[in-house]
Amino acid sequence: MTAARQPVPEGRLERTTIISGVGQSAVGRRLYRDPLDLSIEAALDAIADAGLTPADIDGLATYPGNQDIPPGFSGVGVTEVQDALRLNLNWFSGGLEAPGQLGSVINAICAVATGLCNHVLCFRTVWEASAQGDKGRASVTMGGGGGGGGMYRASSFMQWTLPFAAPSAAIWIAMMAERHFHEFGTTREQLGQIALSSRRNAARNPNAIYTDPMSMDDYLSVRMISTPLCLYDCDAPADGSTAVIVSRASHADSIDHPAANVEAVGTALRGRPSWDQFDDLTTMALRDAAAMMWERTDLKPADVDIAELYDGFSFITLAWLEALGFCGHGEGGPWLEGGARIALDSGELPLNTHGGQLSAGRLHGYGFLHEACTQLWGRGGDRQVRHKGGPSGRPQTAVVGAGGGPLGGCLLLRA
Amino acid sequence: MTEFSEAFRILPRVTPETEHFWRGGAEGKLQFLRCADCGTWIHPPSPVCPNCLSRNIAVEAASGRAVVHTFTINHQPWIPTFDPPYVVAIVELPEQADLRLTTNLVGIEPDAVWIGMPVRVVFEHRNDNGYEVWLPLFEPAEPEVADDSHLVPVAVSDGREVPA
């Protein structure tokens, strides 16, 4: 790996910002609702939660912007939401080329910290369950731009995978997991703890999609998708929109609940931006984003009360745990053994407390940030973590990481 | 043995920048860009050497040998007629540590694939109404003889010298 240029530590301007409100639309399988309708539901929910009205919103950020491919992947961009709510914006940004899905929130943090705007509505909308209809994931095949005229031709980065019948991140991540299994002896039983734990937590989340109990036998016997990843290692396509409001820290006094103070962000990609050329496929870019985040704070992994870590595929969560230093590189398997460390009620690091994307639905990164705030603000209901954070009875520090492969961004939040 | 010659494949869009790669197989060559000044292999194609920033770049054929860096046996039907199970692998070429390709392994049962397995390129020719590409797939190969010390004659008891 090339030696990284270190960020200026006295910068750390993310600390001048907070998450002041969160919102979420209805979440489910095949809601068959207009994605803009879902987005507005989440946006108004978040704006109200932040003690604001649409007239106060002067920034707008989203991932990945409006795009039609793959089906249901977005369908709503800055333009649609701005116009629907007639927002008067000082700053806006939407796009796919960012450090993961939360890159859009980090863009907003930067915009507020540099004084470009005061309150940014950040949102992520998916309607993949409806868009795929009854065709399931077999409909998710194309990506990137096509060739001109007639037959579709793979171009851009997809040209290196699509011709080899490898159209899905399921395959790309499976190869990273296989390499991890090979180098470190990681087992399916160890990886399975992530799926089992998420299902247990989902049973306590009224908005989760899959809540039936899952045993290790269930996990080991379900059909394989791409070795070593089985069906339960893959997240569940869902419909739903999630919104968060990024504000100046001074706004914390104007809301009727705690703020989530942004302690540090991580955005680095210090290896090659590629699913197959990245130097260490067992760490992915998460290694770099996490390292950068810790470079920007005096807090340590031991200070973190809860972790909400992307699980588009369960192996990504394992890689985030290692990248963030909760265990060493390659030690994720043994660390997860038995699942006690990540248990909601007693674990040293309750993980994906809402059920993650594996069981609560693929809200694509933003669901983890929503859940971190839910826990920090004591709104978890039956799934509220109560044994971390000291006398407050709720967690005080949360880490959120989203993205996999060459895409990764993370935030450290304090109540 | 896994073969895909009858299955539908999405073909790459060949451009002047990538033609050496996608059509080198017509001559049996696995071709990449390489820096003519410092020797760095460049993939995917780029107009500048990432090592020395030279613009003096030329097409060159690699050995065609590789090692399986990682792989997966895919069981999910993603593409009509391309029926699972099939192996997708990332192979690493001996020419340079970060010179890798995502590919399919052929000529081997999926369950027999292992990380570290030596492989060699085999091209699958596709002709879609005159639009031709040669996809670099890989098949099992004998290990490359990197160390020939085992060929050094050794003395045996009757005085003859034989290869070890």
Phi, psi of A105 (to 5 degrees): -70, -40
Closest CA to B74 of A223, A275, A191: A223
Over residues B11-69, the pLDDT tens digits come to 999 999 999 999 999 999 999 999 999 999 999 999 999 999 999 999 999 999 999 99
Both tokens of residue A168? 């899905």
pLDDT at A151: 80
| Residue whose structure tokens are 């011709």 | A163
User: What number of residues does chain A have?
Assistant: 415
Q: Which residue of A has its CA nearest to B92?
A: A277
Whether residues A277 and B10 touch (CB distance < 8 A) is answered with no
Over residues A126-177, the pLDDT tens digits come to 999 999 876 555 444 444 333 334 588 999 999 999 999 999 999 999 999 9
Identify the domain containing residue B129 by its residue range. Answer: 19-141
Query: Taking 90 as the threshold, does the pLDDT of residue A21 lie above it?
Result: yes
B122 part of a folded domain: yes
Sign of CA pseudo-dihedral A157, A158, A164, A168:
positive
B115 CB-near residues (< 8 Å, 6+ apart) = A178, A179, A182, B68, B69, B70, B71
B101 part of a folded domain: yes
User: How many folded domains does chain B comprise?
Assistant: 1
Query: Taking 90 as the threshold, does the pLDDT of residue A114 lie above it?
Result: yes
Query: Taking 50 as the threshold, does the pLDDT of residue B162 lie above it?
Result: no
Query: Taking 80 as the threshold, does the pLDDT of residue B152 lie above it?
Result: no
Over residues A245-304, the pLDDT tens digits come to 999 999 999 999 999 999 999 999 999 999 999 999 999 999 999 999 999 999 999 999
Question: What's the CA dihedral at A310, A311, A313, A319 to 10 degrees?
Answer: 60
B25 part of a folded domain: yes
Over residues A339-392, the pLDDT tens digits come to 999 999 999 999 999 999 999 999 999 999 999 999 999 999 999 999 999 888
B96 part of a folded domain: yes
Q: Which residue of A has its CA nearest to B135?
A: A163
Query: Taking 90 as the threshold, does the pLDDT of residue A3 lie above it?
Result: no
Structural contact between residues A363 and A357, judged by C-beta atoms closer than 8 angstroms = yes
**Angle (nearest 5°) at CA A263 between A398 and A118:** 110
Q: How far does A401 lie from chain B, in Å, by closest CA?
A: 25
Domains of chain A, by residue range, sit at 13-131+236-414
A13-131+236-414 domain in CATH 3.40.47.10?
yes
Both tokens of residue B105? 């392994």
pLDDT at B160: 40
Query: Taking 50 as the threshold, does the pLDDT of residue B118 lie above it?
Result: yes
A255 CB-near residues (< 8 Å, 6+ apart) = A20, A21, A49, A50, A51
A135 burial type by CB count under 10 A (0-12 exposed, 13-18 middle, 19+ buried): exposed
Whether residues B101 and A160 touch (CB distance < 8 A) is answered with yes
β-sheet bridge partners, residue B133: B126
Instruction: Read off the pTM.
Output: 0.93
Residue A154 contacts B where some CB pair is shorter than 8 Å = yes
Both tokens of residue A65? 């912007």
